[in-house]
Amino acid sequence: IGAGMAAAQFDNAMGRIQAALGVTADEAERLEDTATSVWKQGFGESLDEVSGALIRVKQNMKEISDGAELEQATKNALVLAETFDSDVNEVTRAANNLMLSFGVSAKEAFDMLARGAQDGLNFSNELFDNVAEYASLWASAGYSMEDYFNIMKSGTNESVYNLDYINDLLKEFNIRIKDNSDTTADYMHLLTQDTLNLWEAQYQGKATVQEVASSVIKDLKAAGGIRSANAIVS
């Protein structure tokens, strides 16, 4: 009976994988073999849960190859989701955005998410969702993945209300610094010549938003205009 139930669970999970991913029966069987291997190693509460996690990895992390890499990514996603009371879908979307935005491996992405969560960045239960939404913005602004997480950690140490505050700050700065409006120009001309030069250079692609932001923060700190620049975008 036990063997029959196990076979039925395997078949049900395989059918779920085939329906969700649109693969052939043979491909679904190979993927379910991977899910079964993960489950037998003690990950997930059921084969069905592990299969669901594998599906999310395949859907959200298209750079992941089948086999050992897919197995490890499924394990990592399950552990992060369970440990930090999050959803596998959010975890895999976050890892994928780190991979695509910063050019890192799946292992590096999951390791960074784990360290960030361990450092308290999931205090408002939105680390993975925020990274999934904003990582590409920070990368395009010229920040490294390490920069991005260090800034979130600084903001957390400064007791920001939530991570959205930090991420929205860069989003708004990115919009303002590029809008070429008279209002922005008036404010930029109140800063140092070095900052003004960088601001103008970024229009020609010769400076990054990160460089402009760091220079603005430096000027504001020197003028006593902000209490803790490191918690923003320095």
Give percent of the chain above pLDDT 90: 67
Higher pLDDT, 104 or 7: 104
Report pLDDT digits (tens) over 107-120. 999 999 999 999 99
SS3 sequence of the chain: CHHHHHHHHHHHHHHHHHHHHCCCHHHHHHHHHHHHHHHHCCCCCCHHHHHHHHHHHHHHCCCCCCCHHHHHHHHHHHHHHHHCCCCHHHHHHHHHHHHHHHCCCHHHHHHHHHHHHHCCCCCCCCHHHHHHHHHHHHHHCCCCHHHHHHHHHHHHHCCCCCHHHHHHHHHHHHHHHHCCCHHHHHHHCCCCHHHHHHHHHHCCCCCCHHHHHHHHHHHHHHCCCCCCHHHCCC
Query: Per-residue pLDDT for 13 more than 70?
Result: yes
Q: Is 231's pLDDT higher than 60?
A: no
Q: What band does 225 get if pLDDT is binned at 50, 70 and 90?
A: low
pLDDT tens digits along 125-151: 899 999 999 999 999 999 999 999 999
pLDDT value at residue 90 = 97
Q: What is the pLDDT of residues 152-204, one digit of tens each?
A: 998 888 777 788 888 888 889 889 888 888 999 998 999 999 999 999 999 88
pLDDT per residue as tens digits for the range 21-42: 999 999 999 999 999 999 999 9
How many CB atoms are closer than 10 A to CB 192? 15
As a whole number of angstroms, the longest Cα–Cα distance in the chain is 79
Considering the chain, what is the average pLDDT of its residues? Answer: 89
Model confidence at 217, in pLDDT bands (50, 70, 90)?
confident
Q: Which tokens is 24 given? A: 């052939």
Q: Say if residue 228's pLDDT is above 50.
A: no
CB 143 within 8 A of CB 167: no
Measured at the alpha carbon of residue 57, what is the angle toward residues 51 and 61, in degrees to the nearest 5?
A: 165
Residue 234 is predicted with a pLDDT of: 44
